[in-house]
Structure 1
């Protein structure tokens, strides 16, 4: 039986106080990793850390805003000082601020790009020397289908950041391949998280699910399991790639085909 084990590895996970990030932290801890919950909201981060500790896992909390370069470098240095190593970075924190292109808000644009895109550079720069010294590592990023594959009105800041993130993943992968540092990402579709609750109410989410070929929205575990694979030794020869986890929602040429196929399948 193939086991996805992270035993003996240290993972630094941003945005891990709730939703997808919290689930990644719990699943990585269950796989044997020592996880560092890098979270801006201390109460959220503490709750996840305590839950992991209560189930016998190894977890620590670092309160950090990834929109600030100095906080990132300090958090990475503290992680290495505590654990003696750094094997996995998962950048999951995200900013969902945005608006119409013609209503450009420079402050919100900078916030969005700083968290969604620039933080990838900052985290990587801080982590690479430690990973290179120990002989390898994993740089993982939560991207999105929004931007790289599909578009939604009012999300241009977010979409541009995620599209840029995919470009970063491919380029960094080439630069770091000889150091055995792999760089990959996961592109979620519609996943049921607190962020999704801000986008649509229960009725709206049920309507969205109708247009997903699999007939449901995804769960945080769906993303976390893809991340676990990419973090594991089984993915050692994969780099510069992103895995789309969307229940097939980006496959139909038009949403009407997904709905028609679902009806036909039940007939």
Structure 2
């Protein structure tokens, strides 16, 4: 689930929690992940953070049981904390660790590239390990041909001189998702969930700019909320991109056993990658 601060209720509330309609297979372990919107920590004092800790753990415990599991071994908190929310967030993590419902379980957090480089201002979360999220590293809203999902140049800037000395054990999350970023009059207009790669290849709808990832819409497309003249930047990740990333990371990561996550595994995205593709990427670690 996500957690965000509701100004009407003056408290943090769950957003879009997962629902398990059937029990998960016995052999499948799960790690519950709770995403907390950063500004939530600007609103809560220490007592309110303690209340949030209890609410989250009780909610997670109920969801785990809904999934047909009796227990879980690790809880992961996902938050893009900043310098101004760092102390509040870290206090929340400390309270989580001390809660009886988390006794005997691991607590991990997600980690962005900028938090690795800017370790002095970002601080080090008081947990045992972190999941380094190697995606969404470019400037999504900037018009142009860059791929904001995975950018080797950005990785070089934020990780080359900093990753090897980062003090926490790190798992890695790699992207396999794709999306259509829409620009109107060269200004960011959003991400369209209704545009497919097949539509972009329809010459009656779009004109591709040479071999680039930019596509000009040549007619109105009301079903997708697009207008003639809109530009779609199709961002995707290839196996070659993933292999470049893993080779970069293995040069700068301390050698240790780690988990590797592909985000996100759904039926449509898995059509673009074979089991052999994933095995190649995993082998690099």
User: TM-score by structure 2 length?
Assistant: 0.33
Structure number with greater CO (CA < 8 Å, separation at least 6) is 1
TM-score (norm 1): 0.35
Q: Which has the greater radius of gyration? A: 2
Which structure is higher in helix share? 1
* Between structures 1 and 2, the one with greater strand share: 2
